[in-house]
Amino acid sequence: MKPPTSVIDSLAFGGNGVCRIEGKVCFVPFSCPGDEVYLRITSQKKAYSIASISELLNPSSQRDIPVCKIFGSCGGCCWQHISYPVQLEQKRNILAESLRRSTRVKDILIDNTEASPLQYGYRSRMQFKVSAQKGVLKIGFFRKGTHLVEDAVEGCPIAVPVINQVINKFRKFLGSYPEVESISQIDIDAGENGVVVVLHQSGKISLKNKMQIIEKVPDFGPCSGLFIKSDKNLHVEKLWGDSRISYSLNKVGNSPGNFTLTYPPTGFAQVNQMQNRALLSIVHRLGGFKSSDHLLDLYCGNGNFSIPLAAEVAAITGIEWNSESILAAEHNIKLNKVANIKFICDDVSLALGQLADEGCKFDAVLLDPPRSGATDSVPRIARLQPKKIIYVSCDPSTLARDCGLFLTFGYSFVRSIPIDMFPNTHHIESVTLLSR
C-alpha cells in the first residue's frame, strides 16, 4: 500500500521543503513548493520528520532545470531546481518568519529580497576539496553529510569563470605531483588584480616540491599568487606572486570617488562582489548618517564598510579580532587616503566593555558578526546608547535572537532588507535597522 500523497508548502532555512504528515512537520530535501509527492520517512524526531521523495507525482510549475551535473550529490547548492523568483520569495519569507517569532515584527517591515544580477558565475572565492587515493584524483566538494569528495570535473557553475579555468590547470598539475596525497584543499580567490591560489598540505612540504610547484606557475593560467598552508602551521607561506587580493567599491554619498580594498590570502571578503556593492548601498541608505556622527563598526574586517562610509561621518572606530584583517584595513586606509578611522584589533565583546567603561558614546553602531551572531555583545552595545543599530547578518535565526535582545534594551525594530548574496543556495544575507 502506497503512502498518502503530500504537497510541499514552502521552504525552510537549511534548504529543505516543508509539508505536514498527519499534522506533523516534515522536511524534504530537494523538493519545491507545489510538488505533489510520495515520501519515504528517513528520520523521525519528536517535533518533526525528515523524508526523501520516493516518487514525484506532479512536479511544481516553480521547478527549474539544474545547471550542475553533480547537483544533488554535491553538498553545496541545494536550490538549483527552484526558479529564481521563487528562491527570492522564499528567502524573504524565511527571514520574516524568523523575525516574527523572536520580535513579533510586522510583515510589512520586511522588504522583498534584493536579487543578484547573476544567478551563476558570481562566486569569487571557492574551496575545492582534494582526494587522491589509489591513483584516483578527485577535486570538488564534500557530499552532504560526508567527507567523501564529489568530483567536479567540469568545475563549479556558481564560480566566476576564471576560477574554473585555474582549477582545471591545477587538476592537470596534481595528476603528476609527487605529494598529491597530502593536498587536502585548494582555495582559489579571484580578485580584480588576479587570481590567488592557496594549497592546503598536511605536513611540511619539501624544498624540491616547492620548486616544482613554482616552476609550473606559467602553466596555471591567470594565477597571480601562489601559497602553501600546512595543517601544522597556521601561517600561509608565499611561494610566488602577489600577496594581496583586491576588489572595488562604488562611492556612496559624500565620498570623493570609488575605492579599492585589499585582503590577504585565506582572509575574509564577500564572495559576490556585485552584491557586496549593493550591500554597502543598503547600509548607507538605512544608516542615514550625519556629518557629525561617530560610527562604531564592529567585526569590521578589512574595512569593507568603514572606508567607503568615512566621508559620511565625523569619525569611525572599527573593531576586529583577526590581526590579518586589521593589517589589511590599515593598508586600505593608506591606499584610499582616509584619515578619520581608528581600527582596534581585539575581541569585540571585550573591546565594547572597555569603550563603555571609558564613557565612549556613538551615534550609530554597525555590526557584521559571524554566523553565530553577537549575543555576548548586545548588552555592551546597549551600554554605549547609540541611537541607531545597523545589523548585517548571514543567519536569520541568530539575527532574530539578537534583535529580540535589543528590544529588551529599549530599541525598536524599523526595517529589514534581505539581499541574495548566494543564489541557488539557502543562505540569506540581510541588513536590519533598529533605533531608540
Q: Is the dihedral of CA 27, 32, 35, 37 positive or negative?
A: negative
| pTM for the whole structure | 0.95
353: left (phi over 0), alpha (psi -120 to 50) or beta: alpha
Q: In this structure, how many other beta carbons lie within 10 angstroms of the beta carbon of residue 362? A: 22
251/258 Cα distance (integer angstroms): 5
Indicate if 255 and 295 belong to the same structural domain.
yes
The answer to the question of residue 82 being in a domain is no
Residue 50 lies in a domain: yes
For residues 57 and 111, state if they share a domain. Answer: no
Low-confidence ranges of the chain (pLDDT < 70): 1-4, 232-234
Q: What is the pLDDT of residue 257?
A: 86
d(CA 68, CA 391): 34
- Residues that are catalytic: 394
| pLDDT for position 176 | 85
Same domain assignment for residues 164 and 254? no
Cα distances (angstroms) measured from residue 289 to each of 172, 187, 239, 316, 389: 52, 37, 44, 12, 11
Mark whether 233 and 301 lie in a shared domain.
no
Q: Residue 301 phi/psi, 5° resolution?
A: 60, -130
Q: What is the pLDDT of residue 203?
A: 75
Q: Are residues 412 and 299 in the same domain?
A: yes
Phi, psi of 127 (to 5 degrees): -120, 110
pLDDT recorded at residue 133? 84
296 is a domain residue: yes
Total residue length of the chain = 436
**φ, ψ (nearest 5 deg) of residue 322:** -80, 115
Neighbours of 176 (CB within 10 A): 10
Residue 309 shares a structural domain with residue 410: yes
Range of the domain at 332: 88-115+247-435
Residue 378 DSSP label: H
The percent of residues above 90 in pLDDT, for the chain, comes to: 85
Write the Ramachandran bin of 2: left for phi over 0, alpha for psi from -120 to 50, otherwise beta: beta
Tell me the pLDDT tens digit for each residue of 59-82: 999 999 999 999 999 989 999 999
**Does 69 map to a domain?**
no
3-class SS shares of the chain: helix, strand, coil, % to 5: 30, 35, 40
Of 289, 253, 285, the closest CA to residue 363 belongs to: 289
Please check whether residue 70 lies inside any domain of the structure: no
Dihedrals phi, psi of 315, to nearest 5 degrees: -160, 155
The pLDDT of residue 144 is: 85
Outline where DSSP puts E strands in 264-340.
294-298, 315-320
Domain of 56, CATH number, reads: 2.40.50.140
- Quote the pLDDT of residue 245: 95
49 and 153 fall within a common domain: no
User: Do 271 and 162 reside in the same domain of the chain?
Assistant: no
Are 429 and 286 members of one domain?
Answer: yes
Q: Distance between CA 390 and CA 293 in Å, rounded?
A: 14
Strands, sheet with 388-393, edge to edge from the N-terminal-most edge strand? 341-345, 315-320, 294-298, 364-367, 388-393, 429-435, 412-419
Confidence (pLDDT) at 3: 67
